[in-house]
Structure 1
Amino acid sequence: MKISPVSVAIVSMILPILAQVQQTAGCTCEIDNSGLTFPQSRLLNVQSGASECTKKITSQEMSDVDILLDKLHYRLQQLELDVLKLEEEDDSDGSAQQADLYKAVSLRIIEIELAEIQDLIIKLNTTNTNHQGLSKDFTTKLQNMKTEMEALEKFDRTGVVEKEKVNKQLQKELVQCQADLQVTPAPSIEHVPGNCPHGHLLNVTGPNTYTATEYGTSYPFGAWGRDPKPAAGKENWYWLVVLTSSSVYSNFIRWYSSHSTLVVGSNAGDVIIASGNPTTNTVQGPNVVMYGDALYYGCYNSPNLCRFNMTARTITTVALPNVGYNNKFPFCHLGACYTYTDIDVATDESGVWVVYATAENFGNVVLSKVESGITPLLGRTWNTSLHKRTVTNTFVACGVLYATRFLDKDTEEIFYSLDTVTGQERYDLNLRFRKMSTNIHSLNYNPNDRQLYMYSDAYVLSYQLVFG
């Protein structure tokens, strides 16, 4: 077979190419990726914006409005009750002078409540304004983040974003769980009133004691109780002072060696303060207390506080500056006043206190600490906004002054307190307790058993104070 010159030429061209292909170790190829790269930086920007919003919107900020609304609701309810009480006072019987006095006091209370309501409204408006600004700013930011996330969704064909979000949440929960296991609970920073280790006064229960004295119903005014700092051998003794002259004056203290002997009227003897009744330095008014084996009381016909030493049988006095006495500022309620109750003495964990009123303080209650010594002295003094004629009685517990008011013949209410540590006054305690008789002539707290000792229309009663 004869090969043409053209065929020879073609073969000579193909053979070198085939040899080169056979000598090649491998092959390569190029991939043309026409897809888009996932924009990781944009996702990180969205996450950063979300974290910033979370830090600025806290649960406390979101609850501010609810708290303020609850407070405002309570204050409005209390205001409504006080306005109704003012209307009842306007319709009540009694002298025009007494009616005007009670109206003035009720209006003062309403004025204080209106000021508190106004303050709450201002705080509520301010909080709403701040929240509206936050809402407008965050609405814009959230809308931008939503738009950005919708744009990123087209890259998430294999669930990258969703899985990363789940992993981040799991990591966060793991860190929080580990922190919770290691954390030490923070101590409570709730304010305890006065210098009270027991906490806040929560309730009054009782009466635990309700009995007439051995005098029967002859002497409706008086006081009784136990010495918070008794002399040796008298830790369980009870004392009794009855106003035997005109229901205003007394010149002796009667002792009982136990509660049962008081109930059955078997006394342990009398200690005479003065030979006459009344005379210089005899007891005037029912609001007396025993502390440190000494009787503290308002002195007869003078602006002084007397202390009668039970052992030495001596009397020392301390002047009460500008005090109203001789029935100028007694305890009262809408129906009547308790005569010669200008000076009220109280005991608590820290010692002796005296409650009175002055014209300089517009007839409002003044509280002074009585410092013990050879001669008693007045210590620190607090002027309050509480008008004394609106109060039926007072007592001090743990450095807090409490005041009661008459609701009806069966019910009394502890409505007011003054914290001597912070100076804060409150008119909204609303602690009610049951009375067995209409009137309260004396009321005193004993810190040893945390009981209130009351003398009421010739009966002696005791109530338990509940703290917590």
Structure 2
Amino acid sequence: MSQSNIFILLILIPLTFTQSVRRKDCVCDLKNSDPAFPEKKLKNVETTALQCIGTITSEKMTDLDRLVLGLQHRIKQLEGNVIVLEKEDDRNLYGAVSLRIIELEIAEIQDLLDKLNRTTQNYQHLSVQTAAQLEDMKDAMVDLEKFDNMQVIKTNRENQRFKRNLEQCKEELSATAAPPTVPPARCGLGRAVSVAGPRTYSLTVYGTSYTFGAWGRDAKPAPGDKNKYWLVVLSSGNVYGHFVRQYSTLSTLLLGIGPTDTYISSSNPTTNTIQGPNMVMYGNALYYNCYNTYSVCRFNMTTRSVSTVALPNDAGYNSKFPFAHLGATYTYTDMDFATDELGVYVIYATTSNFGNVIISKVETSNPPVFNQTWSTSLHKKTVTNTFMVCGVLYATRYLDKETEEIFYSYDTKTKEERFDLKINIKKMQTNIQFLNYDPRDHLLYVYSDAYILTYELIFQ
């Protein structure tokens, strides 16, 4: 319960005045016909409301979601291992080992069930306690409302209802045309119409110390790596990184179990290490902005070798053309990398294009090279993030602490630009440092103020 729901009560005290003349003195007798206002009861309601705010937090509510999601993925993984065991024909050579692995997985699932049961019981107790507190506060407010002789509360409710109706009318009148249609022949998708979610919302194992980073899946994974997830946090001043952390499944990432670290360099920062939070994984290679240069780095996760290709020498780097909005600048975000159904792209800006966004298709060779390039009229510093879907660039901007908006698109096939998209993303944290589309599951992967999230991109 928010303190804004506790109304300010105005007391109208009827007064009775009696005047008598005694030696040229005027004497007035004040008589209050209403009972005294129960100030103590109002203080109790305020105290209880503060306790509710402190008891029920978004962090607590995500514990249950995280446990359920982890349990779902572990059960799915167990089913897959059992199917493999049933198909094995190794004359009992490895049967005992496979059974032992399954036994350990069952034990981990049981541990998750125990944690889930304990969490559920705690939440049930919390729900019962909070419901009783809310009922008491409701009764108290009904009693206090009797002192509102001037009917301020009733009038305020009517005003709020009128405001809601007015806002609804404004939205209906200002409805715009639908977002651009993505030709179905290009990748089998219709028009992007909305964003649902978040579907995943969790703090990383690093806690809230590292607010800049990136994560996701390989958009073109090697055989056997289809379920892997990668995570990079910028551990040096929220600017630089020098290793990639990988997990076998989403549930192990959320729970922080069994990570594998692959180092680009033993020190940080140095030549060819990561600069800025924008990067992608494609074909078992990480693409990112090389440290202190206007070059694209390609880090092979298997051979641990780095190859580079330079952007035009007037391309922005070291926060020359970063993502930004009126309230903040996302430092060292001059280059953004994106994946879609057609491959890998780098999004950047140059002085010759007046700081406007340029898109270059990256050929995933070794070393990488640039293929096609498209210039737009979108100024990069008015954007907070970009991503690609079926060869169409989408750009987002900051509306407020709760909402990010997809407002712009550029079709690389038709070269059509639109600035009138109004697709909102519901944020859980204030800033979004990383955003990328995964063509395998049509999800948007987000890194937001140390939290990792996924959103579902809805197509018509």
> CA offsets, 1:145-188, max 9 Å, x none?
xxxxxxxxxxxxxxxxxxxxxxxxxxxxxxxxxxxxxxxxxxxx
Cα distance in 1 between the residues matched to 2:357 and 2:379: 6
> CA offsets, 1:248-267, max 9 Å, x none?
00000000111111111114
Q: Match for residue 281 of structure 1?
A: 272
TM-score, length of structure 1 as denominator length? 0.59
Letter paired with 1:370? V
Letter paired with 1:390? T
- Alpha-carbon shift at residue 268 of structure 1 (Å): 2.5
2:182–2:191 Cα contact (<8 Å) kept: no
Q: Decide which of 264, 272, 292 is 2:255's aligned counterpart.
A: 264
Cα distance in 1 between the residues matched to 2:182 and 2:348: 28
Q: Decide which of 212, 227, 230 is 1:221's aligned counterpart.
A: 212
Cα distance in 2 between the residues matched to 1:78 and 1:251: 47
Cα distance in 1 between the residues matched to 2:351 and 2:361: 20
Letter paired with 2:209? S
Cα pair distance change 1:191/1:280, threshold 3 Å: closer
Q: Match for residue 353 of structure 1?
A: 345
TM-score, length of structure 2 as denominator length? 0.60
Q: Match for residue 429 of structure 1?
A: 421
- Alpha-carbon shift at residue 193 of structure 1 (Å): 7.2
Q: Match for residue 323 of structure 2?
A: 331
Cα distance in 2 between the residues matched to 1:307 and 1:247: 21
1:287–1:297 Cα contact (<8 Å) kept: yes
Residue aligned with 1:261, SS: helix
Question: How many aligned positions are there?
Answer: 285
Letter paired with 1:376? P
- Alpha-carbon shift at residue 467 of structure 1 (Å): 1.1
Cα distance in 1 between the residues matched to 2:437 and 2:305: 25
| Matched-pair identity in % | 62
Letter paired with 1:233? G
Letter paired with 1:402? Y
1:388 aligns with 2:409: no
Cα distance in 2 between the residues matched to 1:441 and 1:333: 12
Letter paired with 1:400? V
Residue aligned with 2:271, SS: coil
Q: Decide which of 282, 288, 294 is 1:291's aligned counterpart.
A: 282
Q: Match for residue 301 of structure 1?
A: 292
> CA offsets, 1:351-372, max 9 Å, x none?
1000000011110100010012
Cα distance in 2 between the residues matched to 1:199 and 1:347: 18
Cα pair distance change 1:306/1:396, threshold 3 Å: same
- Alpha-carbon shift at residue 400 of structure 1 (Å): 0.4
**What is the 5 A alignment of 1:187-266?**
192=183, 195-266=186-257
Residue aligned with 2:370, SS: strand
Q: Match for residue 408 of structure 1?
A: 400
Cα distance in 1 between the residues matched to 2:284 and 2:318: 27
Cα distance in 1 between the residues matched to 2:387 and 2:258: 27
Cα distance in 2 between the residues matched to 1:309 and 1:346: 17
Cα distance in 2 between the residues matched to 1:416 and 1:197: 22
Which stretches in structure 2 are left out of the alignment for 5+ residues? 1-169
Cα distance in 2 between the residues matched to 1:240 and 1:360: 35
- Alpha-carbon shift at residue 374 of structure 1 (Å): 2.1
C-alpha RMSD of matched pairs (Å): 1.9
Q: Match for residue 11 of structure 2?
A: none
Cα distance in 2 between the residues matched to 1:298 and 1:363: 18
- Alpha-carbon shift at residue 233 of structure 1 (Å): 1.4
Cα distance in 2 between the residues matched to 1:440 and 1:459: 9
Residue aligned with 1:353, SS: strand
Letter paired with 1:214? V
> CA offsets, 1:36-55, max 9 Å, x none?
xxxxxxxxxxxxxxxxxxxx
**What is the 5 A alignment of 1:4-83?**
none
Q: Match for residue 10 of structure 2?
A: none
Q: Match for residue 364 of structure 1?
A: 356
- Alpha-carbon shift at residue 191 of structure 1 (Å): 6.5
Residue aligned with 1:346, SS: strand
Cα distance in 2 between the residues matched to 1:435 and 1:388: 21
2:253–2:259 Cα contact (<8 Å) kept: no
Cα distance in 2 between the residues matched to 1:196 and 1:406: 29
Runs of 4+ in 1 over 3 A off after TM superposition: 76-79
Letter paired with 1:258? T
